[in-house]
Amino acid sequence: MKRTVLTYGGTQYTIANEDTETVQARIDSGLRDQPFMWLQVNYGDGRATPAVLLISPRDPGCDHHRA
């Protein structure tokens, strides 16, 4: 089973059934035309809780866009 683990604001979240390249492409695409986007993720071990993260190019919580 594919899943991507990402760290946002020091907390780990997961995205099920997507590899890292797919998630990165989705973020890049989402920010191409908009100043921000919402990313649906899961939080917690065992039975995961759905969560939504606000992603923007200058978001300090998103390691994906750090130089």
Per-residue pLDDT of the chain in tens (67 residues, 90 and over written 9): 688 999 998 999 999 999 999 999 999 999 998 899 999 999 988 888 999 999 998 755 555 543 3
Question: Which residue, among 61, 56, 49, has the nearest Cα to 16 in the 3D structure?
Answer: 49
Closest CA to 51 of 2, 21, 11: 11
Q: What residues contact residue 64 under an 8 Å CB cut-off, 6+ apart?
A: 6, 24, 27, 55
pLDDT at 2: 85
pTM comes to 0.76
- Token digits for 39? 């990313």
What value does the mean pLDDT of the chain take? 86
